Structure 1
């Protein structure tokens, strides 16, 4: 009888083990399918970052469901396991409040999309091109090629300036000229310069004006709009060419000056 009972137990557990193995194999296959399906569905919309996040979430969701089902195969009360996991999750959450803040901030960044991979951003203490947006941190690459790993909570908690979000940016080319120089000639020179550059947009058209009468110079400005991808190089090159054109036409760019009146002793 003991031998027969043992044999029945072995057979019963053997079927449970075989069933668990089949469930695990099928679960991993389904998890892979779910990950690829979610990724391709979201990636078609051009949102690669969110596609990766949701695809990973779909895979882990399927694997967790498979794990609970496998335990049920061996007669384990899954309700108690789920309750235990919930209690453990609460304890871990209390112990990792800072980490969970990063996770929550990462979720908000992924769904609200203030920036995407490849955008150049300024988020308070960090600035650079976005390389990756993860659940815990955002990876950036600075202008000088340095790698920056910024916690999501610090990025989410700061005002974010996205230099790549809009298609065009304004640039004010402001130069100070001497009070003895011809203002109209200076404005004409700036107008010819900006209108002759193909990177300067025609709409809105360039706006030329005298901005201020400073202590040592008259400020003349050419306000133009440039495509975001060309803004950095175009703004620097236009500034250089403006200096060269002003020099060629005899328009001075004065440095700050101050008149000093000397009063000697006994002089009224």
Structure 2
């Protein structure tokens, strides 16, 4: 067998050819890097222009997104020019193909994150609610604290923080109690079927008109809502200005006042009837203390129905200590 001969001279010649090629391309490489660096500087300069501030002055999220997009767009153009200088544009197709496959893989891996991010962008443009709005989103009730790029943060009526993904908020039905400051309350009172129902309606309406916190326009109203076997249900309506009075407190006071007015007028409000069977098992022991009746304090003429600011004060304190920027703008036009 012939011996294997290793030609070191061919290897050295190949290495020398590659080294000469790199040395000859070194000026072009330096020029290409200089072009990329200049493009990065131009993109940074462009991202700080006041034009972008005007385009997204009401939305800090869009402002930052516009800055980043402008800088990376100019930098990408510089990279393409650099590849053209190096006569390496064939790499662009390979890079784009790899980026496409990688983008699909990342899209499936971070599907929910991307959905929340895009929903945050759209909601920051639409402004569906304002800070401290009282909303119900997908059955979750609370006051809006902030809108971030990933979640909408609420404070529930019992003071707990509730984070809802932006994608859920974007596709859910939102009930906003604050957008219209006037809100209607209602409650029912049962009367005996032989009572003057028209007079009962007028008595309740007149008492509602005198109640602090109930609006005069639209006026309070009353109507018969149901007929029972031994009673008739009257339903009373009234409107509250939520900017100055608390909805639940006004409704509670309205129920108390109307019930008291009907009772003062001698209206019969039937109560549930129970049949008791009493069986005698003995006599009371001698000297046993009689049942004592505790004196109840008289109820005030009218309870305080002014708006309650417990949650508002907690939300303001929360917003002062937040590090992440809020995407909601109270002065921006709403959807």
TM-score, structure 2 as length reference: 0.59
Equivalent of 1:139 in 139, 146, 153: 153
Summarize the alignment of residues 112-261 of structure 1 with structure 2, pairs less than 5 Å apart: 114-179=128-193, 181-197=195-211, 199-215=213-229, 217-229=231-243, 230=245, 231-251=247-267, 253-257=269-273
Change (3 A) 1:123 1:23: same
Give the structure 2 partner of residue 71 of structure 1: 79
Deviation of the 1:147 alpha carbon: 0.9
| Alpha-carbon distance between aligned partners in 1 of 2:54 and 2:74, rounded to the nearest angstrom | 18
Change (3 A) 1:32 1:178: farther
Deviation of the 1:209 alpha carbon: 2.1
Conserved in 2, the CA contact under 8 Å of 1:102 and 1:135? Answer: yes
TM-score, structure 1 as length reference: 0.71
- Per-residue displacement from partner, 1:163-218 (whole Å, max 9, x unpaired)? 22334332223222344655344323211222224543344333222222234532
| Alpha-carbon distance between aligned partners in 1 of 2:47 and 2:260, rounded to the nearest angstrom | 64
SS in 2 for 1:67: helix
The root-mean-square deviation of aligned C-alpha atoms, in Å, is: 3.8
Equivalent of 1:102 in 105, 116, 132: 116
Give the structure 2 partner of residue 91 of structure 1: 105
Conserved in 2, the CA contact under 8 Å of 1:216 and 1:257? Answer: no
Conserved in 2, the CA contact under 8 Å of 1:35 and 1:56? Answer: no
Change (3 A) 1:219 1:67: same
Change (3 A) 1:14 1:228: same
Give the structure 2 partner of residue 60 of structure 1: 68
- Greater gyration radius: 2
Q: Unpaired segments of 5 or more residues in structure 1?
A: 44-50, 261-268
1:37 and 2:37 correspond: no
Deviation of the 1:88 alpha carbon: 2.4
Change (3 A) 1:104 1:19: closer
Q: Unpaired segments of 5 or more residues in structure 2?
A: 1-18, 277-335
Structure with the larger helix share: 1
Q: How many residues align?
A: 250
